[in-house]
Amino acid sequence: MPESMTVRPTGSLLARTYLVQFALVVMTYFIAGRLGQATASIRSGNLGPVWPAYGIALAAILICGYRAWPAVLTGAFLVAFLSPVPPLTALGQASGATLAAVTGAFLLHRIVRFRPSLSRLSDVLGLIVFGGLGSAIISACIGVTALYITQERAYSGIGKAWLIYWLGDATGVLLVTPLALRIAELRTIRGDRRISEFLALLGLLCGVGLTVFRHPPSQEVRLDFLAFAVLPFVMWAAIRFGMAATALSTLLVATIATIATALGLGPFAISAPFVNAVLLDVFFFVVSVSGLTLAAGITERQNAELEREQMVRQQAALETRVRLATIVESSSDAIISQDLDGIVESWNSSAEHMFGFTEAEAIGRSISILIPPELEEEQRVILAKVREGERIAHLETVRVTKSGSRLDVSLTLSPIRNTVGQVVAASKIIRDITERKQAEQALLRMNQKLIEAQENERARIGRELHDDIAQRLALVVVELGRTQVEYSDLAPKLGTDLDMIRTHALEVTKDVQSLSHQLHSAKLDYLGVAAAARAFCKELSDHQKVEIDFKSYDFPNRIPHDKSLCLYRVLQESLQNAVKHSGVRSFEVRLWGDKEDVHLTISDLGVGFERDEAMSGAGLGLTSMQERMKMVDGSFAIDSQPGRGTTIHASIPIDSEAEPARIAG
């Protein structure tokens, strides 16, 4: 996007965003603080064994940045102010919590290079040491000082009060901050089986927690250790579902334990309030640290495995690219890549050898440097097809070199797609087929000379048969007729024999005349291909006793002799093959023209054949027809399948000087 079009947040948008964050932090801190104050029975002088609001304060600074400190200060002051302490104490506790949260975030960023994803064991250890235990020293010192300055006493001594204050804020970080940072991760738990497993985990965890903490305490039987029965379920969450599920599990355990202890139930309600609070904090610390470190260790190991696999894939991809580059450079074909506007992006050594442009000269320039002027439209069509994702294979065309010489080439273009499947470029393989084309042209010229020699020989033999042998046979028939008349009265038996000999001689004369017409048709020379084709169909129909449906329409009055002769020979070869091999006695011939071409089709509903097998067979008929069509730039197609008949279609372009008048017949 151009710089002038770049969208930047305005001052009003930044202000609205900050106000939303401010309100959200204040509200969340206030709710967490009120929940922390709800367990009044285990609190003393506005202190309790766990303070979840401090976990919210640190999370707010880590997520929103240092600019969130006014919101933390406001929320902390509101919570303390609404509790039974003087405003000065409330301000002192709020200031201590805010300064501690900012300091904890600073230490995490500066020392640990903290990542809120908690994907490394060092992140979790840093959160425990600097975010929890370390920063809570500041909040405990300032908060307890504020309490005692205003004559607020807690837990019968400043040392005990400071310990509970410190442990309460530290456990608040361990229980709440990881969940606040990673709560969005819970959305990745998908699929019926995983969701069912997660719900079963939470259900069993609640069941075990309620079982352990629902009984009244007993001085005789100490069951403190039973509280750690929840650890396997926290480990289950860490192993199977990651950091967010682990944090949620530990918070759920802490909630059950805190409420039960406040109600005088469970193993942590057996002693004095101070001892109960310390034991409860130690329990929270052990459970949360165990779960968080295990989850972080597993995540770090998984990430390391992913990184290793990614490195292996990258190494394999690099090796593949090196091999591919070697293949590209060693290929005798020009291999070029270009963007969708036709700008050259890569150019191998064979392209330099083929076209004369060096890599430095070609890259960055339009591919049009290789395009002859008359083929610019062809290039536009090619680029349009590539943009649509179409692959173009073995397109034979012409390209020009740096010196201006022309090369016959075969092009193969393939679209290059990005990771989301969009076509962004194209690769092009160019093969020089100039020598092959020259050989094909030489072969075509040789075939043309052979066919011309064949036609000349056909014409010579046809004229000899028609003008000499057929005439001499006709004289023999006449003489036999005269002799039969002279001797029929004198020798009836001799007259009968002479009449039979005359009949055979007459049939031979007709066959010689028919053969001469096949070798060289005078009608083709004087009346055109339509009349010659009609006459041939009638002669073949009469001679072979088959039905040939011939129709001609919209056909030019005159076309060049070489094209007329080509159509006539295709008709002869096709009809004779059909009569011989199709197995049917009815055929259809159509001869017509349009604005650009003249067309000939020969169809039957016979046995058909496999086209590829017929083309590769020993016979020369189909090959001869194809070669004839190439000589006049025509096209030749065969549509045939075993049991479904055969249709042969030949078309020849009309010369601009051809007679425009049309005939029908």
> What tens digit of pLDDT does each residue of 376-430 get?
888 888 888 888 888 888 888 999 999 989 999 998 988 988 888 888 888 888 9
219 pLDDT band, cuts 50/70/90, is very low
Question: Would you say residue 324 lies in a domain?
Answer: no
Question: Would you say residue 311 lies in a domain?
Answer: no
How many angstroms separate the CA atoms of 173 and 135, rounded?
10
Is 338 in a helix, a strand, or coil?
A: strand
Instruction: Tell whether the model's pLDDT for residue 555 goes beyond 90.
Output: no
How many angstroms separate the CA atoms of 78 and 506, rounded?
132
How many other C-beta atoms are found inside a 10 Å radius of the C-beta of residue 369? 16
For residue 499 the two structure tokens come to 């009449």
Bridge partner residues of 408 (DSSP) = 398
| Residue 382 shares a structural domain with residue 412 | yes
Instruction: Tell whether the model's pLDDT for residue 8 goes beyond 80.
Output: no
Question: Would you say residue 289 lies in a domain?
Answer: yes
24 pLDDT band, cuts 50/70/90, is very high
Comparing 618 with 523, which gets the higher pLDDT? 523
Q: How far does Cα 418 stand from its chain's mean position?
A: 8
For the stretch 467-482, pLDDT in tens is: 667 677 777 777 777 7
Contacts of 35 (CB under 8 A, 6+ apart): 52
How many other C-beta atoms are found inside a 10 Å radius of the C-beta of residue 612? 8
- 493, 520, 547 — which closes off a domain? 520
What pLDDT does 269 receive? 76
| Residue 358 shares a structural domain with residue 459 | no
Q: Are 337 and 345 in contact (CB under 8 A)?
A: yes
Bridge partner residues of 238 (DSSP) = none
Q: How many residues does the chain have?
A: 665
| Residue 513 shares a structural domain with residue 420 | no
For residue 416 the two structure tokens come to 């290059």
Comparing 630 with 602, which gets the higher pLDDT? 602
Measuring CA to CA, which residue among 155, 183, 161 is closest to residue 271? 155
| Residue 551 shares a structural domain with residue 502 | no
Q: Which domain holds residue 452?
A: 435-520
| Residue 366 shares a structural domain with residue 397 | yes
Comparing 613 with 286, which gets the higher pLDDT? 286
| Residue 475 shares a structural domain with residue 419 | no
| Residue 115 shares a structural domain with residue 165 | yes
In this structure, what CATH number is given to the domain that contains residue 349?
Answer: 3.30.450.20
For residue 32 the two structure tokens come to 């967490």
Contacts of 424 (CB under 8 A, 6+ apart): 339, 340, 416, 417, 418
> At which residue do the structure tokens 């029965």 appear?
229
DSSP string for residues in 60-108: HHHHH-GGGHHHHHHHHHHHHHTSSS-HHHHHHHHHHHHHHHHHHHHHI
What pLDDT does 618 receive? 43
Q: What is the mean pLDDT of residues 365-372?
A: 90
Is 460 in a helix, a strand, or coil?
A: helix
- 520, 555, 586 — which closes off a domain? 520
How many angstroms separate the CA atoms of 638 and 646, rounded?
7
3 pLDDT band, cuts 50/70/90, is very low
For the stretch 46-79, pLDDT in tens is: 677 888 999 999 999 999 999 999 999 999 999 9
| Residue 240 shares a structural domain with residue 358 | no
For the stretch 167-198, pLDDT in tens is: 989 999 999 999 999 999 898 888 899 999 99
How many angstroms separate the CA atoms of 645 and 643, rounded?
6
525: left (phi over 0), alpha (psi -120 to 50) or beta: alpha
For the stretch 252-291, pLDDT in tens is: 998 888 888 888 887 777 777 788 888 888 888 999 999 9
Instruction: Tell whether the model's pLDDT for residue 619 goes beyond 60.
Output: no
What pLDDT does 138 receive? 93
Question: Would you say residue 232 lies in a domain?
Answer: yes
Question: Would you say residue 8 lies in a domain?
Answer: no
How many angstroms separate the CA atoms of 555 and 315, rounded?
68
- 432, 457, 490 — which closes off a domain? 432
Q: What is the mean pLDDT of residues 104-126?
A: 91
How many angstroms separate the CA atoms of 664 and 553, rounded?
4
What pLDDT does 449 receive? 74
Q: Which of 56-60, 312-316, 513-517, 552-556 has the lowest mean pLDDT?
A: 513-517
| Residue 259 shares a structural domain with residue 126 | yes
DSSP string for residues in 561-609: HHHHHHHHHHHHHHHHHHHHHS--SEEEEEEEE-SSEEEEEEEE-S---
| Residue 227 shares a structural domain with residue 284 | yes
Angle between helix 192-213 and helix 243-262 axes, rounded to 10 deg? 20
Round the average pLDDT of the chain to a whole number and report it: 82
41 pLDDT band, cuts 50/70/90, is low
| Residue 392 shares a structural domain with residue 457 | no
In this structure, what CATH number is given to the domain that contains residue 634?
Answer: 3.30.565.10
Determine what percent of the chain is predicted with pLDDT higher than 90: 26
How many other C-beta atoms are found inside a 10 Å radius of the C-beta of residue 215? 15
For the stretch 483-535, pLDDT in tens is: 777 766 666 777 677 778 878 777 777 777 666 666 666 667 777 888 888 98
| Residue 439 shares a structural domain with residue 426 | no
Which phi and psi (to 5°) does residue 617 adopt? -75, 180
Buried b / exposed e along 309-322 (16+ C-beta atoms within 10 A):
eeeeeeeeeeeeee
Bridge partner residues of 657 (DSSP) = none
> At which residue do the structure tokens 């580059």 appear?
325
Bridge partner residues of 638 (DSSP) = 648
Domain count of the fold of the chain = 4
Question: Would you say residue 597 lies in a domain?
Answer: yes
Question: Would you say residue 317 lies in a domain?
Answer: no
Q: What is the mean pLDDT of residues 604-614?
A: 80
How many other C-beta atoms are found inside a 10 Å radius of the C-beta of residue 377? 9
Give the Å distances, CA to CA, from 172 to 24, 118, 133, 213. 19, 17, 10, 20
Measuring CA to CA, which residue among 382, 358, 161, 108 is closest to residue 277? 161
Question: Would you say residue 309 lies in a domain?
Answer: no
How many other C-beta atoms are found inside a 10 Å radius of the C-beta of residue 110? 10
